[in-house]
């Protein structure tokens, strides 16, 4: 049975943690996000998760370098998605279009949602938690969110216009208007 995410309490219920405070939180060997001012701690997602995320990051990076279309970020790069209370999420893989990259690049958390967000479903992820992440990304301006489910060999695609679709391992992920020309057969990353 998968472990429940741990919640690290704030010093005071009246004082949720800010993104600036969260930037200095370090919990070794754990993945953390800030959700509505509360630190959420999770176990590392495992081998398969890391392999799938790396495969997709590799495919994206090769395309983005060739087209010079923006930047690919991995390793749970943090994005501040909401303020008051603050929410900082870290996608497994993200893409930011070249015209949206701040100059200078942020040293801490970026204050926007990436154009494309990829979340790889971990064994302990609950559907409601994943949908909450998708909503946070879309509400912060992300245009496309892919939730890759290695166990079911499929991906859910969520778009800013409210539409969604299911991609089987016999089909391809498509960058659509966010990353025109990018296509990746789902089976190649699983």
Is residue 53's pLDDT more than 50?
A: yes
pLDDT tens-digit readout, 164-178: 999 999 999 999 999
pLDDT tens-digit readout, 93-152: 999 999 999 999 999 999 999 999 999 999 888 889 999 999 999 999 999 999 999 999
- In CATH, the number for domain 45-189 is 3.90.1570.10
Separation of alpha carbons 164 and 2, rounded Å: 28
Q: What is the pTM of this model?
A: 0.90
Q: Report whether the peptide linkage leading into residue 110 is cis, meaning its omega lies within 30 degrees of zero.
A: no
Is residue 4's pLDDT more than 80?
A: no
pLDDT tens-digit readout, 79-92: 999 999 999 999 99
As a dihedral over the C-alpha atoms of residue 20, residue 37, residue 25, residue 111, rounded to 10 degrees, the angle is -40
- Looking at residue 2, its pLDDT comes to 45
Alpha helices in 68-141 (DSSP H): 127-139
Separation of alpha carbons 17 and 8, rounded Å: 11
Is residue 3's pLDDT more than 80?
A: no
């Amino acid at each position: 049975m998968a472990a429940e995410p741990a919640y690290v309490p704030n010093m005071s219920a009246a004082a949720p943690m800010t993104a600036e405070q969260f930037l200095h939180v370090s919990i070794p060997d754990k993945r953390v996000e800030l959700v509505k001012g509360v630190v959420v701690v999770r176990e590392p997602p495992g081998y398969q998760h890391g392999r799938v995320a790396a495969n997709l990051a590799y495919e994206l990076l090769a395309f983005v370098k060739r087209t010079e279309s923006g930047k690919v970020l991995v390793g749970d790069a943090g994005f501040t998605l909401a303020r008051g209370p603050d929410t900082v999420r870290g996608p497994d893989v993200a893409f930011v279009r070249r015209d949206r990259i701040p100059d200078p690049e942020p040293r801490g958390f970026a204050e926007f949602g990436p154009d494309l967000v990829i979340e790889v479903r971990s064994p302990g992820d609950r559907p409601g938690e994943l949908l909450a992440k998708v909503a946070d990304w879309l509400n912060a301006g992300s245009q496309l969110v892919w939730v890759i489910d290695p166990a079911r060999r499929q991906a859910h695609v969520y778009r800013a216009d409210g539409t969604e679709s299911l991609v089987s391992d016999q089909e391809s992920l498509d960058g659509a208007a966010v990353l025109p020309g990018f296509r990746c057969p789902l089976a190649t990353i699983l």
